[in-house]
Chain A
């Protein structure tokens, strides 16, 4: 099992403990959001905003030793909780891993039903943006390599 698969399984197990209880699940996502380290205000720029989200989500990256490190923040705790899950799985991975990873935890924990269609669209925008960054870093690495 790859590291990314392991992380996804951990998340699935954590959400299984919530036993499909919608309210507990939302509270849990919110708590994850509250635990996400805050982003420096100087990074909360218009350019770092992910388009397609109803609430504001800022995402920045750092490319170090062949790995992409994500930092994100939002003006709502639930959205922060959602992106913290993505960061947990994808941050610190190589561009290839990020691009090839199927985020199967999303469906397994029934995210769509919990957060509804509007927030699911926003969640997909976050994933897309993270993969776009990975694509950019991979292209850059290939050019330099």
Chain B
């Protein structure tokens, strides 16, 4: 096969063998899973960690003196330490467990935002944001009579730093941008954004849902103030995510939700709050999934982010060339720096129909607006077809999709 020579150092067959879900037929064809930007599949070690927790040491964490509680607490806190190392944060207390990226962003909007945003202040986002990184800020702006500013997106799907700089002013209090776009794959120039935002005294949140499994993420070198991500897009379980925040910011922020765990002392007259990170983790958390997330981090670390990046870049380059060669296929989002996301449309055919026809061949892609309706409006589209890659995808799978697309486009009248 012509693509074989392009393979990076990773043993993809061995990686695929770790994902039981990949070994199946869908509609009579081998499953081709290209919906990784929506959620990635889980390696067996993640699944086993869940099984092991419930089979051997299920117990509520913290405050328990018995052995199972101790074991569960240690495993839970071990994930925090792994995450800390994974994004190179200075302390483990800077990692707050949440339900996912959306909750992480909502947490910042509802605490830091409410505390620091006043009438007339400005919040900057970009035109390619996921609804999760638009709506919480809109809600905050509505409440505080603040203004949401949006950096425009070019035809290639990129932002121009000059446009961003033009929006920055001493009124800017928060900048919240995607590290990488879920709909187009564009990697934003986040380092430059953070630097510029800090010059006007704004804090920066990076929506890193699409970045953590694919790109090197180092919060200290980036100097971002907040970073939000989800476990399920990085080979981990659903229902879990995290928020990184700089220690001094988290300490100054009011609590997000009230409940168990987040308190130091409660009387009917007054409650004093716990220290970070527990101040932000009210109630019994998603213990099992947080413990299993540690295995997902281990999976990524064992392969090496750099190796993953090189391989996924090869997949993206190969797929881009192949898709560009198909008559009637138009790529949406051709930024210079991209993660492994290919958004495209087929002229004369609705994305839903294309998705359904690919599914008939066992190929899973996502179709629609990808929770980025303003971005779709920018391109005057109702939606796109999106193929997004993970480290277990292969060049052969891309060939399979390309062959199907050729067949589909040949049917257009």
Contacts and interface: CB of A to CB of B under 8 A. Distances in A.
Q: Do A and B bind each other?
A: yes
A99 to B, nearest CB: 30
Interface string A57-99: 0000000000000000001111100000000000000000000
Interface stretch (A7-15, A20-28, A133-141): A20-28
Interface in B343-372: 349-350, 352-353, 356-357, 360-361
A54 B357 contact: no
B413 interface: yes
Interface in A1-40: 22-23, 26-27, 30-31, 34
B361 to A, nearest CB: 7
B357 A26 contact: yes
A30 B356 CA distance: 11
Contacts of B216: none
B368 to A, nearest CB: 8
B360 A23 contact: yes
A127 interface: no
A43 interface: no
A22 B411 contact: no
Nearest to B411: A27
Contacts of B353: 30, 76-78
Contacts of B352: 54-55, 76, 78-79
Contacts of B357: 23, 26-27, 30
A103 interface: no
Interface in B313-363: 349-350, 352-353, 356-357, 360-361
B115 interface: no
B406 to A, nearest CB: 14
A54 to B, nearest CB: 7
B350 A76 contact: yes
Contacts of A76: 350, 352-353
Given A78-B356, A115-B356, A55 B361 contact: no
Interface in B2-31: 27-28
Contacts of A115: 356
A56 to B, nearest CB: 9
Contacts of A27: 357, 411
Contact of A26 (B28, B350, B356, B382): B356
Contacts of B350: 55, 75-79
A76 B367 CA distance: 13
Interface string B377-413: 0000010000000000000000000000000000101
Interface in B184-235: none
B27 A30 contact: no
Contacts of B28: 22
A30 B51 CA distance: 44
Contacts of A26: 356-357, 360
A69 to B, nearest CB: 25
Contacts of B411: 27, 30-31
A77 B349 contact: yes
A77 B349 CA distance: 7
Among A27, A30, A31, A34: residue with most chain B CB under 10 A: A30
Contacts of A78: 350, 352-353, 356
A78 B350 CA distance: 9
Contacts of B349: 77
Interface in B78-101: none
Given A22-B27, A27-B411, A75 B382 contact: yes
A116 B27 CA distance: 12
Contacts of A22: 27-28, 360
Nearest to B28: A22
A77 B14 CA distance: 41
A79 B382 CA distance: 16
Interface of A: 22-23, 26-27, 30-31, 34, 54-55, 75-79, 115-116, 119
8 contacts: A22-B27, A22-B28, A22-B360, A23-B357, A26-B360, A30-B353, A78-B350, A119-B356
Given A26-B357, A27-B411, 15 more contacts: A26-B360, A27-B357, A30-B411, A31-B411, A34-B413, A54-B352, A75-B350, A76-B350, A76-B352, A77-B349, A77-B350, A77-B353, A78-B350, A78-B356, A119-B356
Ranked 7 nearest A-B pairs via Cβ: A76-B350, A23-B360, A22-B360, A78-B353, A76-B353, A22-B27, A34-B413
